[in-house]
């Protein structure tokens, strides 16, 4: 499997943000790869379409494809006391 095929099969971090009326979704490792949707499923379908077009265009133009490097983690603030600022 060549590097391009490996990246086509790679899994990229997708960030979903509720922006009041819909979901905005983007890939931190692929600048400019963004989409929106009324539901999470719609946003997911649209970002896949955008990713597909982005990767096809990059391959046709012989551009280097972005490797997935981002990850996510959920953490708590760890502050148990209440402070007045």
Report, as ranges of residue numbers, the positions in the chain whose pLDDT lies below 50: 1
**CB distance 17 to 35 below 8 Å:** no
CB neighbours of residue 14 within 10 Å = 20
- The CATH number of whichever domain residue 30 belongs to comes to 3.30.160.250
Q: What is the pTM of this model?
A: 0.78
In a domain, 31, yes or no: yes
- Between the alpha carbon of residue 18 and those of residues 21, 29, 43, the distances in Å are 7, 20, 11
**How many domains, in total, are found in the chain?**
1
Which residue segment(s) compose the domain that 37 sits in?
Answer: 3-60
What 35-42 contacts at long range (C-beta under 8 Å, 24+ apart), as own/partner pairs, is 40/16
In a domain, 76, yes or no: no
pLDDT, residue 9, reads 83
In a domain, 19, yes or no: yes
- Which pLDDT tens digit goes with each residue over 58-76? 889 988 888 899 999 999 8
**CB distance 17 to 36 below 8 Å:** no
pLDDT, residue 65, reads 80
């Amino acid at each position: 499997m060549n590097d391009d095929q490996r990246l086509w099969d790679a899994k990229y971090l997708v960030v979903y943000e509720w922006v009041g009326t819909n979901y905005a979704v983007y890939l931190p490792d692929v600048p400019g790869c963004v989409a929106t949707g009324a539901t999470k499923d719609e946003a997911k379908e649209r970002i896949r379409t955008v990713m597909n077009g982005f990767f096809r265009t990059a391959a046709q133009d012989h551009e280097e494809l972005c490797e997935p490097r981002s990850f996510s983690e959920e953490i708590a603030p760890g502050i148990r006391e209440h402070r007045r600022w």
